[in-house]
Homo-oligomer: A and B are copies of this chain.
């Protein structure tokens, strides 16, 4: 891992566990074992570091989820369940960013794009069962998953999460 990657990694960890505003460049540099100045060699400013960090992470996290063609609810829910448990802190950071009034538009756009991809996926999968209501049902399912996510990152309880997702799988699959 080169220094730039070390900085991104340190930033991700600290942003995720303490929040963006609460994390100073100084702490990031210290955790990455580099000088403060080097951060500004690789990133324009703190906001740029956040944007790169999030883009980097989101891309990695979701590439697996959406690349398969023959995706179904069972597969989706299981993958999402795993990701949520593995990346709890990062996903909480994303929730904070989505809800924060001053989040850079690049990040908002990225997260928004993801939302629409999921809506598309759900709409397709719900077409048979709900016909003309497929789209609104997709919206509701997405909301349900977002709510479960919010609940989990706030108060992580893997057992309960598994139970709920299992129930959803049976309901939708």
Contacts and interface: CB of A to CB of B under 8 A. Distances in A.
A150 B101 contact: no
Interface residues of A, number: 34
Given A92-B101, A95-B99, A100-B96, A151 B140 contact: no
A140 B167 contact: yes
A136 B167 contact: yes
A146 B163 CA distance: 19
Interface stretch (A16-24, A46-54, A66-74, A75-83): A16-24
Nearest to A155: B112
A70 to B, nearest CB: 26
Nearest to A144: B144
B168 A99 contact: no
A65 interface: no
A136 B164 contact: yes
A88 to B, nearest CB: 11
Contact of A151 (B22, B96, B136, B143): B143
A102 interface: yes
